[in-house]
Amino acid sequence: MKKRKVLLKICSLILVLGYFSGIFTATSAYAQEDILTITQNAGYQTNEFYKPKASIVIEAQTGQVLWEDNPDLKWNPASIAKLMSVYLVFEAMANGQFTLDTTVKATDNDQAISQIYELSNNSIVSGVDYPVRDLLYATLVQSSNVATVMLANLVTANDEAKFIHMMNDKAKKLGMTNSTFYNCSGAETGSFNGYYKPEGIDQNADNVTTARDLAILSYHLLKNYPDTVTYTSPTQITIMENTPYAEVLENHNYSLPGLAYGYEGADGLKTGSSPTGGFNYAATAKRENTRLIEIVLGVGDWEDQEGELQRHAFGNAIFDQAFATYEYKQLLPKGNNTINKEEVILEQDFYGVIQRNTEPAFNLSADKVTLNTSLTQVSPTIKAPSVGFKYAKKLKALQHSTLLKNGNKKNSLSTFFINGLLVILGFLFMALSKLFKKEPSETGNAKNISPLFVLGIILVLVGIGLSIYTVGVGPWI
């Protein structure tokens, strides 16, 4: 008995040690495969000093997370905040407030802001009319603070504080739960020398957000306003062409094809840098049917401008890993399919994200087909891909029901008549069996169950069974 207890304790100890050893090994393996290691293995020269504070990669169609590292760390996004301002500009155009050809007459304040050396700007001259289209290019290519302010004032008829409240309201609506905006451009209000001063808003506060929230914003921006990439993809563009105010703008997104860290398929979104935020990067790239969105925050230090390039090394490396591991593709065609041994009919083609060189698995729930995956959604407000379906047998019954409604009732009525007749005959035979039942002989050898009675039971059961079939599937004749 004592030996048995000792053996049980030894076995329990081995199991516990094995369990925690497995956890330690898995954690160690995961820790080694961090963003710095991935970037160095991709061939980029970098070190711990430049390692991002937070990062995330999501698939742009589904909003599913393919990579994350501290995605909910609160951070100053610097000029990436302009993406929220641009979202509100596109929304205003969609609501009919103005168009791309609408012009904004520059004010003395606008000209003064454009001349503040410490801010990223383009040239603005008071009294000149600037088309919305060109102001969008200035905002997204040149990262112009003055162009952003001019667009924000157009949306709200020069109510600067109202626009900030709109930014925060929109953030909540989109599911950006850890974001607060204090200015429209990413630069502290106090740095505008009083020329931009939203009433009641803290002038010295930095915008606050997270990698996850910026990914959510980018997801909705690209989904609702896909033309965004038209304004984020040029490496160089001239605005106010054929006027005395023509100006060439240069893009700071060095991952665009043709630039220093050119990446195949990259076409936006926005960079941002500041003394408190370091160097940040929001990017999107598309290869074949797969479009990805990534956010990289807090690369290096403002005092070392090498971080402006290093952010692209990290961004390219995790893009590479995500593109190599996952793809967005058609998983099931519209129409007849067999899923989990069930014959179903899909309302439309089903697309989703899957690891390359693997076979998808599916779930049937209520009237939806979903992908059985370990990937999570970047936000609970963004639902996982699904497609409606009907079971094939139910559809067949519906088709028979439709035929009935269209006047072809004869077969169904005839079927129910025969089913009922079988049940009636069954009961009749059971009754007759009582009449012809033999009296027991003196020896007691008479059979207890009459053949007529057995036949009656069979007819009743067949009639009931065929009636159930007719209701569930359709006429059997």
Predicted confidence at residue 15, as pLDDT, reads 34
More confident residue, 143 or 31: 143
CA dist., res. 319 & res. 35, Å (int): 11
pLDDT class for 427, splitting at 50, 70, 90? confident
225 pLDDT above the threshold of 90: yes
Could you tell me the residue ranges of all domains in the chain? Answer: 40-326, 333-393, 409-472
**E strand map for 31-126:** 54-59, 65-69, 103-105
More confident residue, 405 or 389: 389
Predicted confidence at residue 438, as pLDDT, reads 61
413 pLDDT above the threshold of 70: no
pLDDT class for 414, splitting at 50, 70, 90? low
Q: Which of the residues are catalytic?
A: 79, 82, 143
Lowest mean pLDDT across 5-14, 291-300, 394-403: 5-14
Predicted confidence at residue 445, as pLDDT, reads 53
446 pLDDT above the threshold of 70: no
- Which amino acid is residue 51, in one-letter code? K
Mean of the pLDDT values across residues 39-49? Answer: 94
pLDDT class for 398, splitting at 50, 70, 90? low
Bridge-based pairing state of the strands 326-332 and 335-339: unpaired
Mean of the pLDDT values across residues 121-146? Answer: 96
Helices (H), 326-441: 392-405, 410-435
Tens digits of residue pLDDT in 331-381: 999 999 988 888 888 889 999 999 999 999 998 887 899 999 999 999 999
- What is the fold, at CATH topology level, of the domain defined by 333-393? Spermidine Synthase; Chain: A, domain 2 (2.30.140)
> What pTM did the predictor assign?
0.76
Lowest mean pLDDT across 325-334, 366-375, 395-404, 422-431: 395-404
- pLDDT averaged over every residue in the chain: 86
Predicted confidence at residue 475, as pLDDT, reads 64
Lowest mean pLDDT across 111-120, 282-291, 349-358, 435-444: 435-444
Count Cβ atoms within 10 A of the Cβ of residue 418 and give its class: 0-12 exposed, 13-18 middle, 19 or more buried. middle
Mean of the pLDDT values across residues 407-431? Answer: 70
Q: Is the dihedral of CA 21, 27, 29, 31 positive or negative?
A: negative
Predicted confidence at residue 455, as pLDDT, reads 82
Mean of the pLDDT values across residues 161-177? Answer: 97
412 pLDDT above the threshold of 60: no
First to last CA, the chain: 72
Helices (H), 33-157: 35-41, 82-94, 108-114, 132-140, 145-156
Mean of the pLDDT values across residues 228-252? Answer: 96
- Residue 2 is encoded by which pair of tokens? 């004592």
pLDDT class for 106, splitting at 50, 70, 90? very high
- Residue 425, preceding peptide bond in cis (omega within 30° of 0): no
Predicted confidence at residue 26, as pLDDT, reads 35
Tens digits of residue pLDDT in 172-213: 999 999 999 999 999 999 999 999 999 999 999 999 999 999
Q: How distant, in Å, are the alpha carbons of 174, 265, 342, 373, 384 from that of 352?
A: 22, 20, 20, 10, 9
Predicted confidence at residue 32, as pLDDT, reads 36
Phi, psi angles (nearest 5°) of residue 52: -60, 150
More confident residue, 468 or 332: 332
pLDDT class for 9, splitting at 50, 70, 90? very low
Predicted confidence at residue 448, as pLDDT, reads 66
Residue listed under structure tokens 């820790």: 31
Q: What percent of the chain has pLDDT over 90?
A: 67
- Residue 228 is encoded by which pair of tokens? 């965004």
399 pLDDT above the threshold of 60: no
| DSSP-assigned beta bridge partners for residue 345 | 336, 390
334 known member of a binding site: no
- What is the fold, at CATH topology level, of the domain defined by 40-326? Beta-lactamase (3.40.710)
